[in-house]
Amino acid sequence: MKPGIPSDYEARVYAGVLGKLIGVYLGRPFEGWSYERLSNRWGEIRRYVHADQNMPLIVTDDDITGTFTFVRALLDHGIKPDLSSREIGQSWLNYIAEGRHILWWGGMGMSAEHTAYLRLEAGIEAPKSGSIGLNGTGVAEEIGAQIFIDGWAMVAPGNPDLAVRLAREAARVSHDGEAVHGAVVIAAMESMAFLEQDIDKLLDKALAYIPADCRIAQLIADLRRWHGEHADWRKARELLVEHHGYQKFGTNCPMVSNHGVIILALLYGGGDFDRSMMIVNTCGYDTDCNSGNLGCLLGIRSGLAALRSGYDWRTPVNDRMYLPAADGHWGMRDAATMALEIANIGRVLAAGRPSLPKNGARFHFDLPGSTHGFAPSSLCPKEMRATPVDKALRLQIAFPGMRCDAEVATFLTPESLKLAIYGASATPALYEGDLIQARVLAGSVNHQAVSARLFVRAYADGEAIVLKEGPLVEVQPGHAAILQWKAPETGNWPIFAVGVQLIGPRGSQLDLDWLTWRGTPTLTFSTPENCKDIGLWSRIFIHNLEQPGWSGLAPWNESVSLIKNRGRGLLHTGTREWKDYRVSSCIKPWVGSECGIAARVQGLTRQYALLLRPGNKLVLVRMAHHETVLAETEFTWELCNTYELALEVREDSLVGFVNGTRLLAARDSMLGEGGIGLVVSNGRINATPLRIEAL
């Protein structure tokens, strides 16, 4: 198979991303259930059953977050085909705060991913971090290597050699042995599925990448034989359990058994999305993982049409997803945006250029049927719909005098705050003063002009929600208009949604062509006045500090205590869109090995920092998984004294100030954008609210 970029590459990646989401959301409510329990409850799984379990459909989940976070290692280390397991392990430490993000935190020796994380944190680099020699066969051959693997295939369309190489390096961060073989099979099939439909050919080619005598190869051979001998998938499932079931492995969640369920459903599903989803979920075991991998494979293979060929799996998802990680910039994501980001990595790997629909607009609706998560707000009647049309989103007034709008989340919504397992986390994407722009087109079917305007919704006092609306713009039938408005002041409360409202007579239509915003705020991140829920407000920050060192014990209007018992602690907020600015705070060190402020933060181990260090040192450093000192000077400082630190970043220029005096300067271009933060290592500081000023 000759490597190349298919003509429908972005759409097929989009189908793969949606297939992954659908599979996870479908399988999550009964994860870990047995076949017998599932059969007694529902017979066969042919629809979403979350409501039956009193669960939300859109959830945070390690399968989703790990898949679409770890592939960012290609962005962090340069988009290159020879990315190493060691480098991917470094990205783990950047995007994961222990106990808070991405992984199942089951403990050393119980969760393979937690075990590998602890190895990495202790300085044991990948691939040793996931090796059988260090962690034992039972742990190293659990399922996790497979559940995070899809992104590596989607950046290598029709190029299984590259997909397998990247997948093997990624899998070995946390796993070894049969777990890696299973991950390789999935990655190879997904890569080839961009160009190949035949399931037997997909399996044959994938098997060429693993040892012929390994357990995964034996498992696949058994399943193919049983498929030829037995027309009923239930009989094959019985044989799978007998010969390769959990009882054969002394581990919590074995790769082999769950890989077998995927192959069984692939064979007996015959490529049909609905039937395959029914089988892979009704079989039981680790349903969200298995369903997610198979959903991604079949999405890539069959395209977007497969997701609505029978049951409508796609509409309820509405592109929605969460990616809680230690870089909050990606916390609020959507399937269409994620798909384009992955496809652009793939294009660069293939020596091509990234695609930037509609001049790089944040929400462009360019992918077929995409919504970017836009939906009518809770202010609209329940019957209101926002409908995807050709490269746009359509609003239509169905009820005279009733509100008609569509909005998208820019921060944790009231609904997402309730998510418990793998709880949601993010930093706000939109800030007061940002310039919001949108292009809208009034329907030619309209009988008169309509009015449109931008709006935002924000939290207020911790209990209320406020609506703030921009100016009305009149749009004639068949004409377009650009809506433009600066995001309003919100009293330091985060904006959690932005949208467009349509006003006009019944039947009026308005298409949202694109929506975007830009800007770097000038803002002090102090606790809002009359704050009734500091816990809600404090969720604008991402951190790896101790609890209750940063728990909102007191409002952050003057100073707050930040504590890190062991290692380097970081509290940060902001977005990757911020480039040139000044960040400042007054810091009072109590005890510790270093403290200071950070700029262009891109996670826990990627940022610039101005730090006070023992021995009367002031240093300006670049953290990019490892520290590089860019400038250093003598500076006399003492514990229990307060120092105003400021760091200016403008293009490749970095300048550090203490108490208003410029003391350090350097030039560096590695980190071009990111948020702001505070640093404390092995100790405690008091700090005044972080302040950012656009330059």
* DSSP, residue by residue, 392-459: EEEEE--STTS-EEEEEESS--TTGGG--TT------S--TT-EEEEEEEE-TT-SS-EEEEEEEEEE
**Once rounded to an integer, what is the mean pLDDT over residues 298-322?**
96
Look at strands 581-591 and 691-694 and give their pairing: antiparallel
Within 431-532, residue ranges assigned H as helices are none
Instruction: Output helix, strand, coil percentages for the chain, rounded to the nearest 5.
Output: 35, 25, 40
Q: How many CA atoms lie within 13 A of 439 on its CB side?
A: 13
Preceding peptide of 548 cis, ω within 30°: yes
Phi, psi (deg, nearest 5) at residue 409: -75, 135
Cα separation of 218 and 223, whole Å? 9
pLDDT one-digit tens code per residue, 87-102: 999 999 999 998 888 9
pLDDT one-digit tens code per residue, 185-203: 999 999 999 999 999 999 9
pLDDT one-digit tens code per residue, 442-470: 999 999 999 999 999 999 987 789 999 99
pLDDT one-digit tens code per residue, 258-285: 999 999 999 999 999 999 999 999 999 9
Query: Does residue 647 surpass a pLDDT of 70?
Result: yes
Query: Does residue 83 surpass a pLDDT of 50?
Result: yes
**CA dist 623 → 548, 607, 609 (Å):** 26, 5, 8
Query: Does residue 305 surpass a pLDDT of 80?
Result: yes
**pLDDT value for 547:** 62
pLDDT cut 90: percent of the chain above it? 90
pLDDT one-digit tens code per residue, 22-40: 999 999 999 999 999 999 9
**pLDDT value for 463:** 78
500 closest CA partner among 450, 449, 441, 454: 454
**pLDDT value for 334:** 97
Q: What contacts 351, CB < 8 A, 6 or more positions away?
A: none
**CA dist 561 → 501, 530, 547, 688 (Å):** 43, 21, 11, 9
pLDDT one-digit tens code per residue, 550-591: 554 467 777 888 999 999 999 999 999 999 999 999 999 999
pLDDT cut 70: percent of the chain above it? 98
Query: Does residue 670 surpass a pLDDT of 50?
Result: yes
Query: Does residue 549 surpass a pLDDT of 80?
Result: no
**pLDDT value for 29:** 94
Q: Show the beta-strand stretches assigned E in 318-370.
A: 320-322, 332-334
Set out the domains of the chain in order of their start, with CATH numbers: 9-322 (1.10.4080.10), 386-519 (2.60.120.260), 524-694 (2.60.120.560)
Confidence of residue 423 (pLDDT cuts 50, 70, 90): confident
**pLDDT value for 2:** 46
Phi, psi (deg, nearest 5) at residue 527: -60, 130
Confidence of residue 214 (pLDDT cuts 50, 70, 90): very high
Query: Does residue 596 surpass a pLDDT of 50?
Result: yes
Query: Does residue 308 surpass a pLDDT of 70?
Result: yes
Confidence of residue 382 (pLDDT cuts 50, 70, 90): confident
**Once rounded to an integer, what is the mean pLDDT over residues 368-389?**
94
User: Residue 273 has which token pair?
Assistant: 């999305």
| Cα angle value 430/433/493 (rounded, 5°) | 60
Distance of CA 418 to the CA centre of its chain: 18
pLDDT one-digit tens code per residue, 217-245: 999 999 999 999 999 999 999 999 999 99
| Element housing 645 (H / E) | strand 643-650
Cα separation of 475 and 479, whole Å? 6
pLDDT: is 545 or 552 the higher one?
A: 545
**pLDDT value for 532:** 84
Average pLDDT value over all residues in the chain: 94
**Once rounded to an integer, what is the mean pLDDT over residues 475-484?**
98
Other CB atoms closer than 10 Å to residue 605's CB: what's the count? 20
Other CB atoms closer than 10 Å to residue 491's CB: what's the count? 14
Cα separation of 654 and 668, whole Å? 7
**pLDDT value for 410:** 97
Cα separation of 623 and 350, whole Å? 29
